[in-house]
Chains A and B, each alone.
Chain A
Amino acid sequence: MLIFSISALLCLVISSIFGFVEMSVQGQERQVSLLDTSSRLAQNNDWILATISLLVLIVIPSMFAALLAYLAFSLKMRWANLRSIKLLNAIAFIGFWNMCEIYFLGILVSMVKIASLANVSFGIAFYAYAFFIVFLFAAYMHFDRYQLSLLIKKNISERQHKVASHELA
């Protein structure tokens, strides 16, 4: 879970640096980056769609990956405590609202739709985003609430045991 979620975050960084898709119509060219998708909508005063794009493509999935990485890291370092249970809640909540793979399908559909009107091609960021989704889901596959809550409980009891044996000695 740790490796997958960190790989996912790296891919997200790569995909926000490079060009996402390119299109040209009758000599006019246009390149769009990942962040452009919502800033262009905002320039058009489509505030609601701009917010949806920003949340769905970037904010929610990056929080999702970051929280998964944090949880995996704290379990590995045996830091997990009662607050980690709340983290499980938060991750499940974000997982419920995470829809970046659906947006990605929407982008594919869009490209097919305008292929008859313009020349379109994918940039590096597009492929990086595809890998981001794969890694994010690989990490999320290991998010089993029951097993994780057992692990958190184990972390806590191990620490209590250590404190107890320390006091005895």
Chain B
Amino acid sequence: MNSPKLISCKHCLTVQSNESPQCDFCELPVRHHSDNNGALQRAWSFLFTAFLLYFPANFLPIMRTTQLGSTTDSTIIGGVILLWSHHSYLIAGIIFVASIFVPFAKFVALFSLCFAQSRILELSAKQKSLIYRATEFVGRWSMVDVFVVAFLTSLVQMGELMTITPGPAALAFAGMVIFTMLTANSLDPRLFWNSSHE
């Protein structure tokens, strides 16, 4: 089958022949396939950075509570266990899914997408698009724990009585989520369909 080579402009979505570098309609550059390698390399480096941050984010304390002179450090997993023991099952569930399960699942998804685009792993275009959309939708929700720490720190500043300060994991966690979002952002979903036709 010899179908004409078409591309949709990433700005105005006009479908056109992929020969000219500029869009026929909006005159903005249509991103071409030759960009593929640069984007993929960027995706890989963002993903590795995020993966390195995954460990401090989970094992260092995310929050430090000082109450009447005594200081307690809490990690993410510790926080889930504490909420569970206080019978806040819903909140414990939300934090578990958002902070522990989703980041892990997201790494599995992004690694498989990057492997597939580097032609190490075989995935159909449909599978890739599905994984991509799922990570794009769900990944950002892991920021919730960072926001909890940020908000509690700004609210609970009562001197000797009770003070909350962020721990080193808070920034590692924020960095991890941002770098996974950058990874997803540098993968061009249009390329999923491309490689499957060849």
Instruction: List the interface of chain A (C-beta within 8 A of B).
Output: 21, 23, 25-26, 28, 30, 32, 36-38, 40-41, 44, 46, 48-49, 52-53, 56, 82, 85-86, 88-89, 96-97, 99, 102-103, 105-107, 109-110, 112-114, 116-118, 145-146, 149, 152-153
| Pair A37/B154 contact, Cβ less than 8 Å | yes
Task: Give A40 to B158 CA distance when docked, in angstroms.
Answer: 12
| Pair B94/A109 contact, Cβ less than 8 Å | yes
A41 touches which one: B11, B83, B150 (CB < 8 A)? Answer: B150
A113 CB contacts on chain B under 8 angstroms: 79, 83, 91, 148, 152
Q: A46-B153, A82-B27, A88-B12 are in contact. Are A105 and B161 (CB under 8 A)?
A: no
Q: How far is the CB of B73 from chain A (nearest CB, A)?
A: 15
Looking at A30, A110, A146, which has the most chain B CB atoms within 10 Å of its CB?
A110
The number of chain B residues touching the other chain, given as a range, is 35 or more
Q: How far is the CB of A27 from chain B (nearest CB, A)?
A: 10
Instruction: List the interface of chain B (C-beta within 8 A of A).
Output: 11-14, 25-28, 67, 79, 83, 86, 88, 91, 94-95, 140-141, 143-158, 161-162, 165-166, 170-171, 174, 181, 185
| Pair A109/B148 contact, Cβ less than 8 Å | yes
| Pair B147/A56 contact, Cβ less than 8 Å | yes
Task: Give A36 to B151 CA distance when docked, in angstroms.
Answer: 10
Task: Give A22 to B13 CA distance when docked, in angstroms.
Answer: 48
Task: Give A64 to B12 CA distance when docked, in angstroms.
Answer: 19
Looking at B140, B141, B154, which has the most chain A CB atoms within 10 Å of its CB?
B154
Task: Give A32 to B150 CA distance when docked, in angstroms.
Answer: 13
A118 CB contacts on chain B under 8 angstroms: 156, 162
Q: How far is the CB of A89 from chain B (nearest CB, A)?
A: 6
| Pair A46/B166 contact, Cβ less than 8 Å | yes
| Pair B185/A41 contact, Cβ less than 8 Å | no
Task: Give A85 to B10 CA distance when docked, in angstroms.
Answer: 10
The interface residues of chain B, by DSSP majority, are classed as helix
A106 touches which one: B26, B27, B28, B148 (CB < 8 A)? Answer: B148
Q: How far is the CB of B55 from chain A (nearest CB, A)?
A: 19
The 7 closest A-B pairs by CB, nearest first: A106-B147, A40-B154, A149-B12, A37-B154, A103-B147, A85-B26, A106-B148
Q: How far is the CB of B137 from chain A (nearest CB, A)?
A: 11
B140 touches which one: A88, A99, A107, A116 (CB < 8 A)? Answer: A99
B83 CB contacts on chain A under 8 angstroms: 112-113
B170 CB contacts on chain A under 8 angstroms: 49
Q: How far is the CB of B57 from chain A (nearest CB, A)?
A: 14
| Pair A145/B13 contact, Cβ less than 8 Å | yes
Q: How far is the CB of A126 from chain B (nearest CB, A)?
A: 12
| Pair A53/B150 contact, Cβ less than 8 Å | yes
User: Which residue on A lies nearest to B170, using beta carbons?
Assistant: A49
B145 touches which one: A32, A106, A116, A149 (CB < 8 A)? Answer: A106
Task: Give A32 to B155 CA distance when docked, in angstroms.
Answer: 7
Q: A28-B158, A28-B161, A106-B145 are in contact. Are A96 and B185 (CB under 8 A)?
A: yes
Q: How far is the CB of B170 from chain A (nearest CB, A)?
A: 7
